[in-house]
Amino acid sequence: MPSPPETRLTIPLRWRDMDMLGHLNQAVYHELLEEARGALLLDLAGRGTQQVHHTYVLARVELDYRHEVRKDHGTVDVTVRVGRVGTKSITLEHEVLLPDGTVAAAGSTVLVGWDMQARGARTLSDEERAVLTGT
């Protein structure tokens, strides 16, 4: 069985990312996840015979904060992998890692296939599902 598609980004931390306690603001975690999701989807868009370029909307975010992230950590690695591919949705699994590999946060997001014309959920195509599952 093939491993699910995955992307890993190293992202530098900025002063503006920190809160008054000196650690990464909770809202910034969501920006990091968004950046990693976008990188994964761009990577997947180039696979397949028809250049899979489908539109998705964010339906759910679940995130557990496990360890503080401080500016002096310098960077974090953000991983995102395809967890589950449903009929109309995709569940992605995320981790935010400190430079030493400590998991600072972990969770998942659900993306729903979006039909721009009908303004509603759409069924994922067979090719799209194959690309998302790595088969």
**pLDDT tens, 97-110?**
999 999 999 999 99
Token pair 């449903």: residue:
86
pLDDT tens sequence across 85-100: 999 999 999 999 999 9
Question: Which residue range is the domain that position 68 belongs to?
Answer: 6-133
The predicted model gives 57-68 an average pLDDT of 97
Does some domain include residue 1? Answer: no
DSSP symbol at 18: B
Does some domain include residue 33? Answer: yes
Q: Domain tally for the chain?
A: 1
Closest CA to 13 of 36, 33, 32, 30: 32
> Which CATH number goes with the domain that contains 87?
3.10.129.10
Amino acid of residue 132: L
39-43, 45-49, 92-96 — most confident range: 92-96
